[in-house]
Structure 1
Amino acid sequence: MLASLGNQGWASIVVASGAMPSAITSLPRNEATPITRWDWELWKRLADRGPDFGDYAIAHPEMQGPVPRGPIPSLRYTTSDNWWIYRWARNETGGNDSFYDLCKALVASDHWPAEGADFSWGDSELARCARRQPGPGNATQWRAWGTSHHLAHVMNELASPPAP
């Protein structure tokens, strides 16, 4: 199909797809759960044919309704092959303090980047939370921090062509 599009005079062809589940509420709490990045796998298979890459970052491609008020602390964290979904139960103090524990688990994981907090603005905020510095954030901030990391990660991936 891409070959048939190539002779149409398009300025560029972009393969955009999304593979994030529409909801993560069924995933376990207090552990990181990997979910395959099928959109990235698709692009790697097509990359040698010349399309550009596009994705929906750490969101499902379908517009979602309003975020539930007060969701449990969670983070969608991009790596080369997976998203790591972190969902942490609220602790006895309530609020979002368990996000500190979530971040501590993230920075101790094998998928925390070698550059650490310097990898992206989002990673610097996640590292700050791992140190239990004030301000565990809210669902909007967690999405922003995860998106910041995702964008930096994808830019690094695109700078190095995928292995066939």
Structure 2
Amino acid sequence: MSTTQSERLRALLEPLVGSQGLDLEEIAVDSVGRKRVLRVVVDSDTGADLDRIADVSRALSAKLDETNAMGEGEYTLEVGTPGAERALTEHRHYVRATGRLVRFQTHEDGELVARVLAVDEEGLDLEVPGVKGRKATTRRLPFGDIAKARVQVEFNRKSTENDSAGDGDDMTEEEA
């Protein structure tokens, strides 16, 4: 069984990213003209500020140069975080989204937008906003019912204790 370049890079870089207290979320190698771009996406439960991104970027660059994992040709290394409207694909992503508004595509019911209240091993407890003056309701959503999920950017989002990540996407409409 052959391994792809991305799989080899993940095996090489994931322990290094982990040693920096971050999770390796994604690796992509793209060609841009004659140059290649290695995009590495990292995150953690507490977020990743610019200093942490710079530290891990330097460590990854040194490791890539030392091992010649990208070969002889030129490449650009880009290290960043998943962004404000990140897709939720792993259990840890849902835990990190506690308190956030999420758009779900479900296998049965179609689309659902709700706030994540709690996460356990089987699924999510959600608060579904009320429509036309109705009160919000709670709902249980098992992981097996979720086809896709993506965090939604909110303006005027109410503060929660999970806002310590400082991802910068909770500005007011006046600040936008």
**If each structure's helix is expressed as a fraction of its own residues, which one has the higher value?**
1
**If each structure's strand is expressed as a fraction of its own residues, which one has the higher value?**
2
- Establish whether TM, by shorter chain, passes 0.5: no
TM class by shorter chain equals under 0.3
TM-score normalized by the length of structure 1:
0.22
Indicate the structure (1 or 2) with the bigger Cα radius of gyration.
Answer: 2
User: Which protein has greater RCO, CA pairs closer than 8 Å, 6+ apart?
Assistant: 1
TM-score normalized by the length of structure 2:
0.21
